[in-house]
Amino acid sequence: MDLSSEYLMSRSGLELLNKIFLSAGEGIIIVNAKGEIVMANKRSEELFGYNEAELLGKVIENLIPKEYHKKHVKHRTAYVEDPKSRPMGIGRDLVGLKKDGDTFPLEVSLSFVMHQDQKLVVAFITDISTRKEQEAALAESRNQLEQHAQELEGKVKERTKELEHLNLGLKSQIRERKLAEAALKESLEEVKKAETEILKALDKEKELNELKSRFISMASHEFRTPLTTILSSADLIGRYTDEESQEKRIKHINRIRNAVQNLTNILNDFLSLEKLESGAITLKLVEFSLKEVYHEIMEGIELTAKPGQQIKTSLAPDLNLIITDQHLLKNICLNLLSNAIKYSPENTTIEFEVSEPEDSLLQIRVKDEGIGIPEKEQSNLFQRFYRAENATNIQGTGLGLNIVKRYLELLKGNITFSSKEGSGTEFIVNFPYRKP
């Protein structure tokens, strides 16, 4: 018999649809836009333990545990606003609440109909307790298989050792060992990765221990010299009590001042290195007057110049207000100028130039007439604690240029140099900046 649309709309057709609804093997619940149950079939009553009269008029959230109510109301409201058919199999897994308080897992698929100007949501409900039990049993079986596989893997290892010890050389034993090796390959790869990480950590620790040893050795030497100078000069000042000894007193006071400055520089290098290692130094871009900072640098550096040393300075006239890290810029300049003064003899010239070779690119150039850097040692110049052979008698930590290079990495800049032993050195620094 052809169940045409006309038949379905007839009395007999409606009775047939009602029978199908009532006898369906899945629970069917129809709710209105407010979430109130307006129809429910027998299977729904069996699933939740209610009779039809008890279900009608209840809000659908009464059929799920209280902790899910708020979330379910949100999902239900969203679905009513934009309803779409959601077939079984891609429905949501939920928890149902029976009348007696028991809960059970269920799957819901949704559809919607318009009836008498009402938007009704039709929920098809399936009890998936059996499926969940099967899934749990499958997971348990899988765990047991994995455990059994691990036990077999252990036995394979033991057997492989026995075969190696006995050295029987049989093909079957070799094949078994290969199978064991294949089974263990993935585990070995993980072990290798772990070993690699451990080796990296050990190398890092070794490097830190070496740095610590070099630091202690260098610090004990570098601190001893200025402290000895301060002690001897302080002792001599105490002996010059008359007015005729004023010049000698001033001389030793200057020696003490220079020694204290050396100690301050050493400590600043150590603190800067520690902050860089710990990541405490980050880029802080601010707007400031380059001319003011330039003059501050020159005022501070001229006090440390040796007798007869001249510092020729040049600042591009168009450079004034810029945006970059003021602290890093100042420290880079002071570090390069301090080195130029330290490694140059008296009565020499030091050139200090700040320019803009390209738009928004700042260039700092420092050139001296000092001892220079031996060619064979130039490749190591930016290493921590490294000092060239011809500089071992001059105070220094060997950290300055390493710090400058790492500051420039933060500024996305670079540093180059040219040098010849006995003829001086020229450093050129470039890094981008922003204009206000």
Tell me the per-residue pLDDT of 406-425, one tens digit each, with 9 for 90 and over.
889 999 999 999 999 989 99
- Predicted confidence at residue 429, as pLDDT, reads 96
How confident is residue 359, by pLDDT bands cut at 50, 70 and 90?
very high
Looking at per-residue pLDDT, the higher value among 45 and 207 belongs to 45
Q: How far apart are the first and last CA of the chain?
A: 86
Residue type, 184: L
Residue 390 reports pLDDT greater than 90: no
Mean pLDDT of the chain: 80
Residue 113's pLDDT is 86
pLDDT band, residue 344 (cuts 50/70/90):
very high
pLDDT tens, residue by residue, 274-291: 666 667 678 889 999 999
Q: Where are the domains of the chain?
A: 5-127, 141-207, 281-432
Q: For residue range 113-172, what is the model confidence (pLDDT) as tens digits?
A: 888 888 888 888 888 888 888 888 888 888 888 888 788 888 888 877 776 677 666 677
Q: What is the pLDDT averaged over residues 294-299? A: 89
Pick the more confident residue, 183 or 289: 289
Minimum mean pLDDT range among 178-182, 207-211, 227-231, 312-316: 207-211
Nearest to 109 by CA among 95, 91, 127, 94: 91
- The band of 1, judged by pLDDT with boundaries at 50, 70 and 90, is very low
pLDDT of the residue at 305:
86
Express each pLDDT in 236-275 by its tens digit.
Answer: 676 777 776 777 777 767 667 666 665 666 666 656 666 6
Burial class from Cβ neighbours inside 10 Å (0-12, 13-18, 19+) for residue 376 reads exposed
Query: What pLDDT does 430 receive?
Result: 97
* pLDDT at position 363: 96
Residue 329, pLDDT > 90, answer yes
Q: Which range is most confident: 17-26, 87-96, 331-340?
A: 331-340
Q: How is residue 303 written in tokens?
A: 């006090």
User: So what's the pLDDT on residue 5?
Assistant: 52
> What is the value of pTM for the model shown?
0.46
User: For 281-432, CATH number?
Assistant: 3.30.565.10
Distance CA 408, CA 286 (A): 16
Which CATH architecture describes the domain 5-127? 2-Layer Sandwich (3.30)
For residue 380, the model assigns a pLDDT of 85
Between 129 and 211, the more confident residue is 129
Is residue 347 over pLDDT 70? Answer: yes
Counting residues of the chain whose pLDDT is more than 70, the rounded percentage is 78
Structure tokens at 191: 């072990």
SS3 for the chain, per residue? CCCCHHHHHCHHHHHHHHHHHHHCCCEEEEECCCCEEEEECHHHHHHHCCCHHHHCCCEHHHHCCHHHHHHHHHHHHHHHHCCCCECCCCCEEEEEECCCCCEEEEEEEEEEEEECCEEEEEEEEEECHHHHHHHHHHHHHHHHHHHHHHHHHHHHHHHHHHHHHHCCCCHHHHHHHHHHHHHHHHHHHHHHHHHHHHHHHHHHHHHHHHHHHHHHHHHHHHHHHHHHHHHHHHHHHHHCCCHHHHHHHHHHHHHHHHHHHHHHHHHHHHHHHHHHHHCCCCCCCEEEEHHHHHHHHHHHHHCCCCCCCEEEEEECCCCCEEEECHHHHHHHHHHHHHHHHHCCCCCCEEEEEEEEEECCEEEEEEECCCCCCCHHHHHHCCCCCCCCHHHCCCCCCCCHHHHHHHHHHHHCCEEEEEEECCCEEEEEEEEECECC
pLDDT score, position 315: 93
